[in-house]
Amino acid sequence: MRVVRRFCAHSMIYGYKQLSKADDWRDIVGADKWVPTRSAYELAQRWHAGSFPPSVRDAFQRSGVPELQSLRVACLYVEHPTFLDTFHRPSCTDIMVHCRTTDNRPVIVGVEGKATEPFAEPVQQWITSSDGEPAPTRLRRLQHLSQMLGITIPPDSSLRYQLVHRTASIVNEAALHGAAAAVVLVHSFAESPDINWLDFQVFLRHLGTEPAPKNTFTAPCPLGPRRDIPTHFIWITDEPIDRSA
């Protein structure tokens, strides 16, 4: 019998390793992003303890939402990939935090770090191919993301694409684990220019929820294919760590 070995030249492999110290995050996020004041570096310094950073913990305790006020962190996944309509170009959440309430119900907190980089390009720009028409593959992805969110995102939308696919990924993770709630948390380390904050507000209004002041939770927004996942949004501000001290 002749054994035939078939090899796929385009296989994509995603995996995790245990991160024992903050510097181990460098291999996951990339050396080019491992720079003080950059969001990847700043996230590692604050989140590697395996618990909520003080600014985040304080916001949760002030939320007035019982499911959020006493959460404990179970585990964190750095650069967590969520496959969307295909296995190509997954959405990689900076930190996917699996939490538990006091009565042991799961809550998913997805963290997106931001310094001066924008939330990628607007949907209407992202979806357009070189001939000026919407690319069929991207139209399919946008339709899939709309289904994941339970909210229609039209091809001519000016919403930032990263906000769309990252929120869909976090809501999807909550659905997979039967979570009591999902939290989309932007952890910002630069407050000027303020374009990201403005884009965040526009996105929330499109979802049907009114933005709250920074460091304050919005009212829950029902998202997901069945619109049954209460999703909270919050923008946390922190100063970059001063490494010269």
* 10 found inside a domain: no
pLDDT(88) > 70: yes
End-to-end CA distance of the chain: give it in Å, rounded.
Answer: 69
Q: In this predicted model, what pLDDT tens digit does every residue of 46-69 receive, in sequence order?
A: 998 888 999 999 999 999 999 899
User: Which pLDDT band, with edges at 50, 70 and 90, does 243 fall under?
Assistant: low
- Give the pLDDT of residue 130: 84
pLDDT(117) > 90: no
* 99 found inside a domain: yes
* 8 found inside a domain: no
Query: Smallest Cα–Cα separation from 39: which of 189, 199, 167, 160?
Result: 189
Query: Smallest Cα–Cα separation from 16: which of 5, 6, 25?
Result: 25
pLDDT(144) > 80: yes
Quote the number of domains for the chain.
1
pLDDT(8) > 50: no
* 66 found inside a domain: yes
* 134 found inside a domain: yes
Residue 149 structural domain? 32-237
* 226 found inside a domain: yes
> Average pLDDT, stretch 188-199?
85
* 15 found inside a domain: no
pLDDT(134) > 80: yes
* 110 found inside a domain: yes
Q: Decide: 182 and 174 in contact? Cβ < 8 Å.
A: yes
Whole-angstrom Cα distance, residue 215 to residue 234? 6
